[in-house]
Structure 1
Amino acid sequence: MRIGLITDNPGHPLLSAAAGLLRAAGHGVELLDPGAPDTAAGEPADAYLLKAHTPQGLELALRLERLGAPVVNSAAATTLCQDRTLMAELAVRAGLPFAETRTVGALARWSAGVSLDSPVVVKSRHSRRADLVALVDDTAHLGKLAHDWPDEPVVVQDFAPNSGWDHKLWAIGDRVFAALRRSELSPEGRGPTLPLARIPDGWADLTRRVGEVYSLDVYGVDIIATADGSPLIVDVNAFPGIRDQPGAPQALADLALLRA
Structure 2
Amino acid sequence: MKVGLITGDPGHPVLAAVADLLVRRGHDVTTVPPAGPVTGLADVYLLKARTPQALALAEELERRGAPVVNSAAATGLCQDRVRMADLARAAGLPFADTEAVGRLGELVDPAYPFVVKSRHSRRHDLVARVDGPARLRELAERWPEEPVVTQPFVPGTGWDQKLWVVDGQVFAARRQSELATGTGKSGRAEDWEPSAARAALALRVGEVFGLDVYGVDLVDGPAEPVIVDVNAFPGVRGRPGAPEALVALALRVGAQRVGVQPGPAGRALAGLGAGLGAGLGPGRGVG
Residue 192 of structure 1, CA deviation: 4.1
Aligned pair 1:172/2:166, yes or no? yes
What are the within-5 Å matches in structure 2 for residues 200-211 of structure 1? 200-211=195-206
SS at match of 1:202: helix
State the partner residue of 2:93.
96
TM-score by length of 2: 0.85
CA deviation vs aligned residue, 1:72-116 (integer Å, no higher than 9, x gap): 0011111110100000000111000000011111221x22xx224
2-side partners of 1:62 and 1:5: how far apart? 15
2-side partners of 1:46 and 1:53: how far apart? 20
**Residues 1:11 and 1:86: Cα distance change in structure 2 (over 3 Å):** same
Which one is further off, 142-151 or 235-244? 142-151
State the partner residue of 1:190.
186
| Counterpart code for 1:31 | T
TM-score by length of 1: 0.93
| Counterpart code for 1:191 | G
% same residue:
57
State the partner residue of 2:250.
256
Residue 201 of structure 1, CA deviation: 3.3
1-side partners of 2:150 and 2:63: how far apart? 36
Given that 2:35 and 2:57 are in contact with CA atoms closer than 8 Å, whether structure 1 keeps it comes out as no
Which one is further off, 182-191 or 235-244? 182-191
2-side partners of 1:245 and 1:209: how far apart? 21
**Larger helix percent:** 2
Structure 2 segments unaligned to the other structure (5+ residues): 255-287
Residue 160 of structure 1, CA deviation: 1.4
2-side partners of 1:100 and 1:259: how far apart? 35
Residue 238 of structure 1, CA deviation: 0.3
State the partner residue of 2:258.
none
Structure 1 segments unaligned to the other structure (5+ residues): none
1-side partners of 2:227 and 2:165: how far apart? 15
| Counterpart code for 1:184 | E
Given that 2:44 and 2:250 are in contact with CA atoms closer than 8 Å, whether structure 1 keeps it comes out as yes
Aligned pair 1:51/2:51, yes or no? no
Runs of 4+ in structure 1 displaced over 4 angstroms?
A: none
Aligned pair 1:244/2:238, yes or no? yes
Given that 2:177 and 2:187 are in contact with CA atoms closer than 8 Å, whether structure 1 keeps it comes out as no
State the partner residue of 1:41.
39
State the partner residue of 1:3.
3
| Number of residue equivalences | 252
Superposition CA RMSD, Å: 1.3
| Counterpart code for 1:80 | L
SS at match of 1:53: coil
